């Protein structure tokens, strides 16, 4: 009986190792962390900051092509203030907030461990506006939060590192409602499962 159990354990171990070796690069579930430059543009001005977040996706191979779906949640340090808007001493500040994205990507292998890809999808971001009247007789400050829907397009390169890890570099452009847009250049590090 003991030799049957040992044989079964050996067969399971060997088949698991063979399955892991047969793993197709750039396919399966992936998770990643990203960080990079973020430029927020509104009519009349722009501000720069650091974009950071996390993403998850699923890719599958179709010959030399890679197709995938992905989602991301991020935030930004970008904010901008202007003074003397309506009168001497008042101040208006715009602060970028959380940023959500869901979309797809299509890529082409340019070697055994390098993928070039393009992406597109739905994006939603939050913008906070703070107005401080700072004028004699002013009745108070005004704060407003707005969520803006838009689209995101981008392109990047992903490089496999070993069996499960990868790094990537990506440019993306997001166009939101009411003339609000973002330009971002990010780098990422992640794992495939």
Q: Domains for the chain: give ranges and CATH numbers.
A: 25-192 (2.40.160.20)
> What average pLDDT score do residues 14-24 get?
47
Please tell me which of 54-63, 93-102, 133-142 the model is most confident about, judged by mean pLDDT: 54-63
**What are the tens digits of pLDDT across the range 50-90?**
999 999 999 999 988 999 999 999 999 988 777 776 667 77
Return d(Cα 153, Cα 174) in angstroms, integer.
7
With CA atoms as reference, report the closest residue to 99 among 32, 176, 161: 176
Q: Above 60 in pLDDT, residue 11?
A: no
Report percent pLDDT > 70 for the chain.
82
SS3 per residue for 108-160: EECCCCEEEEEEEEEEEEEEEEEEECCCCCCCCCEEEEEEEEEEEEEEEEEEE
> What average pLDDT score do residues 117-138 get?
83
The count of other CB atoms within 10 Å of the CB of residue 37 is: 15
Q: Is the pTM of this model over 0.85?
A: no
């Amino acid at each position: 009986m003991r030799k049957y159990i040992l044989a079964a354990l050996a067969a399971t171990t060997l088949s698991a190792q063979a399955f892991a070796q047969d793993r197709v690069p750039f396919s399966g579930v992936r998770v990643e962390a990203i960080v990079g430059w973020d430029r927020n543009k509104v009519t009349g001005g722009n501000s720069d900051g650091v974009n950071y977040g996390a993403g998850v996706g699923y890719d599958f191979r179709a010959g030399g092509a890679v197709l995938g779906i992905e989602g991301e949640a991020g935030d930004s340090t970008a904010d901008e203030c202007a003074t003397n808007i309506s009168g001497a001493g008042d101040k208006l500040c715009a602060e970028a907030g959380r940023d959500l994205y869901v979309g797809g990507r299509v890529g082409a292998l340019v070697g055994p461990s390098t993928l070039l890809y393009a992406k597109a999808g739905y994006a939603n971001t939050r913008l906070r506006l703070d107005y401080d009247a700072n004028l004699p007789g002013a009745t108070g400050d005004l704060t407003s939060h707005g969520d803006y829907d838009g689209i995101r397009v981008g392109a990047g390169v992903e490089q496999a590192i070993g069996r499960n890890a990868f790094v990537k570099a990506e440019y993306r452009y997001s166009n939101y409602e009411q003339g609000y847009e973002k330009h971002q250049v990010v780098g990422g590090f992640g794992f495939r499962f």
